[in-house]
Structures are given as C-alpha cells and as structure tokens.
Amino acid sequence: MVIFKHKKDIKRILLVEDDPDDVDLIKRAIASNNLDIELDIVDNGEDALKYLSQQDEYAKKPLPDVTLLDLNLPIINGREILRKVRSNNHLQHLVMIVLSTSSAQDDIDQCYSLNANCFVSKPLTMQGYVDVIKGVHEFWLERSSLPSSQ
C-alpha cells in the first residue's frame, strides 16, 4: 500500500541554533529517521524573532509546528526569545522546546517558568540525537494535538 502525504501533512520545525555541528547532527538525525519534516534554521535570536513574527525575509514563511530553541544564542538569547514569544498573543501558542547543552537545574527551572513546553539536554552521541528527534516527532508532531496557527 502506498500512502501519499499531502503538503499540509509535512510538519515544519524551526531550529534556532548557532553551532553548525549541532545543526548538522540534527539534520542527520532527521534524515536517518526518514521523517517528513521541513526544517528551517536560523542561527541567532534576532532572526528567530523575525521568523516567528513573519517579518522581513520571513514574511511568507508559515509558523513552525515546533521550535527547537538553543539557550545560548548570539544577539538575543533563548530565554529572551521565550519571554517575547510567551508575551505575544499571536505567538504564545507555539510549541517551544529548549534543546540545550545545559543540564543545570537553574536553567531548566527558568525555562519552565518562562513556559517552555519541554527542556531537553543535547545528547552526546549521534544516536542520542536520532532518539531525541524521533521522540520530538512522535510526541509533538504525531501524537499531540497542536493549536492552530491562528
């Protein structure tokens, strides 16, 4: 049996990550899981906010189904992005998953206090990235009911 996927069935992830090695690992994890994901990447907090606000060169981009957000970013850090997204009526519904090298309890607590949907420490191995991306896809993009883009 062949199952045809409609364009609307393909999920969109915004990756906000400034480390090219982590970007590469996430791309490889998506490919190795053979997932129908459209991945958009920005490498700083200012561009992340422009993307999410659909401004400038991102004006025609649809909002992501999930945002994977690093904390330590140039220009505007991940905590400030969470603050701004959660205080914006048009964006506050977005799924924001923090993906950070940190495993410090203070960072975890602060992200949840800023209403992150989830906090995941970056894995140390390629297989770890494969597992994280597979888990994000299965839970957030297949099993969960996401809010509309409004």
- Which pTM was predicted? 0.90
Spatial separation of the C-alpha atoms in residues 138 and 50, rounded to whole Å: 28
Spatial separation of the C-alpha atoms in residues 135 and 130, rounded to whole Å: 9
Q: If one looks up domain 11-142 in CATH, what number appears?
A: 3.40.50.2300
Return the structure tokens found at 125. 């191995």
3-state helix, strand, coil in the chain (%, to 5): 40, 15, 40
pLDDT digits (tens, 9 = 90+) for 40-97: 999 999 999 999 999 999 999 999 999 999 999 999 999 999 999 999 999 999 999 9
pLDDT at 149: 60
pLDDT at 144: 80
